[in-house]
Amino acid sequence: MENLSLNSFLGIDFGSTQEVAKNKMLSRASCTLDEKNSTDTVMYFYGVTFAGRDTSFVMLLFVNGKFSKAAVYIKPKLDAFTIRTYQEIKEELNAKYFKTIDDFELYDEPYQENDGYTETGISVGKVKFSSFWSFKDSKDGEEDFISLRISEELDIIINYEDGDLTKELVNKIKDQDSEDY
């Protein structure tokens, strides 16, 4: 476990250029780029199969021209399958990397575990499912991460993040936001 690292997503090394990332993604069967909505900081891909599942879309984020983060959006066929699909993906990630200890199911009033209203609770923001896997950075920088969660829209979102580039992205956003002051 201590030797595991997270250096890429679908064969795209973190830090890669947009051109390299785009070509790798488009080499996947049925994958298309949403050119209208993609920019120099984000690219959207449709028709992607990920770990044997159809995706709603895959989003790649870039900071200063470098690939920093990927987000995979999966919409289960029925809302009733959301939690089961989330659990399956979590177990697949646990099997591939390691069993995470950062695994959370949080319930706010009036929702409770096994009350029969969990999906409703998720959709109104009162129930949260999330898990995290952290990896020591191969260059002794910020830890890299995989995160898994269920959104209020009942999408399952898997994020792959390079810690150093994500920190660079956050700092860039903060700098842009502070220009208003």
Structure tokens of 58? 């895959």
Q: Is the pTM of this model over 0.85?
A: yes
Residue located via tokens 């709603």: 56
Whether residue 2 is predicted with pLDDT greater than 70 in this model: the reply is no
Furthest-apart CA atoms within the chain: distance in Å:
48
Q: DSSP readout, 103-155?
A: EEEEE-TT--TTSS-HHHHHHTTSEEEEEEEEE--TTSSSPEEEEEEE-TTS-
pLDDT at 178: 85
Sign of the dihedral through C-alpha 146, 51, 88, 129: positive
Stretch 146-175: mean pLDDT = 94
The percent of the chain in helix, strand and coil, each rounded to the nearest 5, is 25, 35, 40
pLDDT digits (tens, 9 = 90+) for 90-133: 999 999 999 999 999 999 999 999 999 999 999 999 999 999 99
pLDDT at 62: 96
pLDDT digits (tens, 9 = 90+) for 28-47: 999 999 999 999 999 999 99
